[in-house]
Structure formats: structure tokens, C-alpha cells
Structure 1
């Protein structure tokens, strides 16, 4: 039997933490016979990483491959669980339990997994063995930046409007315009909400619009740390289709677009990965004509807008300020086990407002839909909410740092302000 290791996180059945909270847990090592090790190290890491390659071809048809990468640390702290005085020390048969605690910095980006980079947080246990490769046990967990839509100062509770028009063919056969007008009741949303996308399509052209489609698009920019090169990704995280518009007609749509489990908007907490969102509406026409498109940027957070909070700003239990932070290498400490009745309950960012019900937690939809880091999910990567089973102490611990991981994001049970929470897959349209 080899050495086994269980990494357990306490007081958090979903393994989801907000920036500024405390991660605590235990490491249980088991071995059935004596093992020689140089050291056993416990570490907590939080980092952003990007990597991609691009091929270029010169005039001689010679292809060159260029690699770009970036790395940024947010947590990097470790302690020695066992250390040899000389070359190595004997790990006797038995079970060893170590309790730990680590403060998450108040300024750090949310967990994210993409095709060209990630933001990941994890607990690692390393067995440094003589004449052998290190044996590493890892347990990723989700960290979420506090994105309170009532405090970001962008007037997210105000309506938004955008329009565009398009003509078909060239002069002198140019058609009259197809005009699209897009409107939203507000500019900030959280997962679990329904976005009532208002679309007014005025088709004065001679081209029939076959279909109108509204999407919520997540746009990710990955940066290289050592050059000015970037690479972009687009993920359609939600989609709703509407009927077409015949020639010389006008039609008003309301497309209810759900916001699924997805990471918060992030511009300022990570220098190598940025995440933004926009609502896009596209008219689809047949033939060689180019589709018309109109969009509005939106902000996705994890503390929803409420009338009480927008009228009277309040103090948040976790203050988030964008300031330069140095890594605290001593943030991780070993502690004595604290009895359950003596533990202080975790304060979540929405807890100051009793009108906000606690969210459930679900896997990131873009990871599942686009096959990111494609491999089979393990027992500890299920979607959990308040009514489903929660992980137990027997949960599997991953045996390497590059394991497949799907972050969990908060999803609120909120109603659609315009349609009283209707979520059926239809559009609400009216001929004008």
C-alpha cells in the first residue's frame, strides 16, 4: 500500500470561498509501513497562468512556432509538516493529522478555467522522497471576488439602450434600412437572474429576417507577461431565439435570457486575464447577406442589485480595494483543532441584506459546454446547492496539480422583473 492523503476543508460544504475569508481544514496522512522522506510540505497556492502558441509563415514558406505565457501569484504560503534533520526521516506506520488555516487576500480574482489560461486556488501536500519523484496530493477550491453590483459605482441599476441599422445591396439598388433597437432594464446582473432583452426590429428592407437571436457572451482576453501579444476567447453562456420579421414590417420582442453559473466580470484584479460580458442580438438572413448585430456591455456580479441597497449604500463585510499587495508567505499556519461549537460562522457578502436569499452553487457552464481541459469529472466536482448532497470527508483528493477542475459559482433564485420569473423557452413578440 502506498501513502494515502486526504485534504479536508472545514465549515464549507461547497469548497467555495470569497476573497477575504479564512480557509481552514486538515490533512490526514496514512501509511501501512515505514517510509523514508526528506520532508512533507503543506502549501496553499493561488495563481493566474496563461499559455498559447502561434504559428507564423515567412516568405520562404517556413513555419515558426512562437509561445507566449504569463504567471501571477495571489497566495503562495507553505509550512513543513515533517522535516529531516539530516538527509531523510522515517515516516512510521500509522495515521497523521495536521490542522491548518490560511487567510485569503481581500484582493484576488475569481477562480476561472479557460482554454488558454486559468485562475486556480489549491491546497497541496508534497512528499519529498529520496531518490524518487516528489509525490503530490492536491485539492482545488473555488475563490470568488466580491462583486457587489450596488457598490461598483457604474450606475448598473439604470436602463441601457443601443441601436444599429443595415442596408443590403449596393447603390443604385441599395435597400431601405433594417433597424435594430436593443434595450435592457439595467446593466448589472447575477447568475440566476433572467435578463428581459427588449428588441425592436424595423424591417423596411426587401430582405426577410429568418430569425432573431439574443446571446449572453463572455469575452476573455489572455495576456503574455513578456510581450504585448494577446489572445481572445468568446463563450456563449446563454442563448435565446426569436421569430423572424417579414419585409416592410415592425416587430417588438422580449427575449428572456437566463444568466447561468459564470464568473464575475474582472478587469482590475488580474493583469494577465480579463473577463467581460455583453448582450448581443443578431438578425439572421438567408443568402450572402451579412447579418446585422447590436450589443450592450453588461456587468455580472455575485451580490445582486436591490432597491434597498441602491438607495442607501451600506458597509460590506468584505471591503475590496484595488491596491498593490505583497504575497504573505506566512499566511498559512498549523493550528490546534477547534471544536465545532467554538467556530465562528462564515459571513457571506450578501448576508447584510435579509432580502437576498443564499444562493446555490453550480459548475461553470462554459467549462462543460466547450470541453475545457477535457477529461472526466470526479466525485468532488459535482454541482451542489442547498437541497443536494454535500461533499464528505471521504471525497477524493487529486494526485497532481494539473488535475481537471470545474469551479462552482453562486446562482441566486431570482425572478424576472418584467415577466414575473417566466423561464420557458419562448419569445414574447408583438407585431407593430
Structure 2
């Protein structure tokens, strides 16, 4: 005896949902032999989690953080009965306006190890009677990319760094000065970061070169621990310049095309993602490199002109509650195993999600 399920989504053209969007589609499920069920629930779930491991010598400490962004359930009318045959039920949900984007991230950065995610999915759950019966779960992931609410300046702003270098057998003060003006610190997805930079080498040292990088900055803040930053290079957004001679000034424009899959992440208290442009002046030994970092937000700034219409009965169209939208026929064959499981089971990642499924509540 088996339950086979397809969760078919009516997806946006690019397959990505945004805050306030409607998530709708059709659930198709079939039972090849009669099966008693107490309740059938279709849900929209959205949750975040951070697991941070901090190592100190031979000891390790674990810090956790969890949040729930959306947890909406609807009980289907076919519950508390014996199922056999195939069924179709439409579903409609509404995502909250202010929710964080989807993310999965793992990294080791001494002394830390981190694993974190923000995920959203549609879940269909069959609850069976009896203490020793196992419930059936089917999931379909959805990807959310929320717009950016600008928190940085959208006007030109200047950054600078100054370093005095020790030079033997010289009484002159040797200074290396870095200046950079970014035209806007908020850049659209796939847009261009524009910076005017100037490096003034008031020393008798030849600067080996200047390295420009766009770095992704993941910040996590689990319960019981302060904020920890993790930096990741974006190889396609890296460049180098030539040497800078003593007593010379290098003026150069910096244009960085942002990869379309790189966006900032907001609306979470435990996970965030932003970016920095790092300009590194490479000095010969024994001098330390001089580094200037310029923070950047990346993403589309989206304003919904009209509030989304309210869905009848909060999430559901007419007819679902009285069973008019569900069809069942013992003569109709259920979906094949591979058709069904290819749609349902491949998105059912692990039993660890079940812990979060039943955690109702606010952000923690």
C-alpha cells in the first residue's frame, strides 16, 4: 500500500517568488489500496536555522538559532475517512510581505564552523490513526528572493585609509593614502558598482600592485553568541593593477558587474548577507598591506503599488471547504511511482525538517 503525490506549482516566469506573492498550484495524490486517514493538511512553511560550532582546544560549543517566517496550514476536506483512488485539490497561499530570501550556507573559518539555511516549501501531510502508524510527508521547495530595503547611501560617499610606513635611514614621514568614492552603495541585481579610486604613494617604496575584490559577507547570530562574519570571494569579480612607483599617484575607475545570483539578505535576526568591495594595496615585506573596504547592498528595490487582494477564507477559493474542488475515482489510476516520487520525494530532504514543521511561533 502506498501514497503517491504530485505538488504542481503555478510558478512565476523566473521560478522565483517575492514577499507578498501568491503561491498556488494543484496537489494530485493517489492511494492504490484503501487507507484510513485522520487528517490531510497542506501547508506553506518558511523557516531559518543557524548552527554555529566554536572550537577551543579540544572542546567545542554549539550555538543554535531558529526563526519561523510563515507557517500556514489548511486541513483538506478528505480527512477522517478511508481513501482510495486519485484526488486533485487546488491550493492558494500568500507569502508575507517582509521575509528573507532563500539561502543555504556552510563554511569552516577557524575557530568556527557554520551551517545555516532559510527555506520555504509546500508540504502535504497525511496523518493516520493508531500509535504505531507513520505519517506521510511530501514537500515541494520554492525559492524566495526578497527585494532590498536600502539601508546605505544611494548618493556618492567617500571612504579613505591612511598608513604610515617605517623607513630606515630616512627622517621623512612616509605615508600611503587610499581614497575611494562610490557613486551609490545600493546596486540593483546584476547591476554595476562604480567607484573612483586614488592611491597616493608618498614613500620611497614601490607598491607591488592593487587588488580589487567583491566579497560576500554572511553574518550569523545564534542564541547565546554574538555576531560572526564569514567572508567569501567572488572569483569573477576580482582584478589587479600594476605597480605604483615612489612619490606617484594612481587614479583609476573601478567598475564591477555584479553576478545576477548575488543579492543581499534582510528581514532575519539570525542570518544576513551583504557585500564589500575590498581594495588591497600590496606592499613588499616587511610592510603590511593596506586595505580599504567599502560596504555595498545588492538587490532590486521593489515597491508594490497596490496591496495584494485578500484571498477568500484567508487562503482558499470557494468550493474547497465543501469538497467541490476535490475529485476522487476508484477507477482512476494514481500517478506512477516515478512520476509521483519525482515530484514529491525529491524535495523531501531530511527528517530534520520535521522538527521545524511542528514549531509554531514567532522569531526566536
| Range of TM-score over shorter length | 0.7 to 0.9
- Among 348, 351, 355, the alignment partner of 1:400 is 348
CA distance in 2: counterparts of 1:20 and 1:395, whole angstroms: 29
| Cα pair distance change 1:75/1:205, threshold 3 Å | same
Q: Could you say what secondary structure the match of 1:202 adopts?
A: strand
Corresponding position of 1:358: none
2:99 corresponding residue in structure 1: 108
Provide the residue aligned with 2:123 in structure 1: 124
2:144 corresponds to which residue? 143
> Aligned pairs, how many?
314
Deviations 1:207-254 (A, max 9, x none): 3333322222222221123x2433321223352313222321222222
Once the two structures are superposed, the pairs formed by residues 8-407 of structure 1 within 5 Å of their partners are 8-57=8-57, 63-81=58-76, 85=80, 89-92=81-84, 94-115=85-106, 116-129=115-128, 131-147=132-148, 152=150, 155-156=153-154, 158-169=155-166, 176-225=174-223, 227-237=224-234, 239-248=237-246, 249-260=248-259, 261-266=261-266, 269-303=267-301, 316-317=304-305, 331-333=314-316, 396-397=343-344, 398-402=346-350
**Matched residues in 1 for 2:13 and 2:2: separation?**
28
- Structure 1 position 303, deviation (Å): 3.0
User: TM-score if structure 2 supplies the norm length?
Assistant: 0.75
Q: Give how far 1:200 is off.
A: 1.5
Radius of gyration: which is bigger? Answer: 2
| Separation in 2, partners of 1:105, 1:7 | 21
Contact 2:209 2:244 in 1 (8 A): no
More strand by share: 2
CA contact (8 A) 2:122 2:141 kept: yes
Matched residue SS, 2:33: coil
Structure 2: 5+ residue stretches without partners = 107-114, 321-339, 352-364
Q: Is residue 244–residue 250 contact of structure 2 (8 Å, CA) maintained in 1?
A: no
TM-score, normalised to structure 1, is 0.64
Superposition pairs of residues 416-427 of structure 1, within 5 angstroms: none
| 8 Å CA contact retained: 2:18, 2:146 | yes
What do you get for the CA RMSD once the two structures are aligned? Answer: 3.2
Contact residue 160 and residue 186 of structure 1 kept, 8 A: yes
Asked if 2 retains the 8 angstrom alpha-carbon contact of 1:121 and 1:141, the reply is: yes
**Contact 1:240–1:255, Cα closer than 8 Å, also in 2:** no
Q: Kindly tell me: are residues 162 and 230 of structure 1, through their superposed partners in 2, closer, same or farther at Cα, counting changes over 3 Å? A: closer
Equivalent pair of 2:63/2:225 in contact (CA under 8 Å):
no
Q: CA deviation at 1:189?
A: 0.4
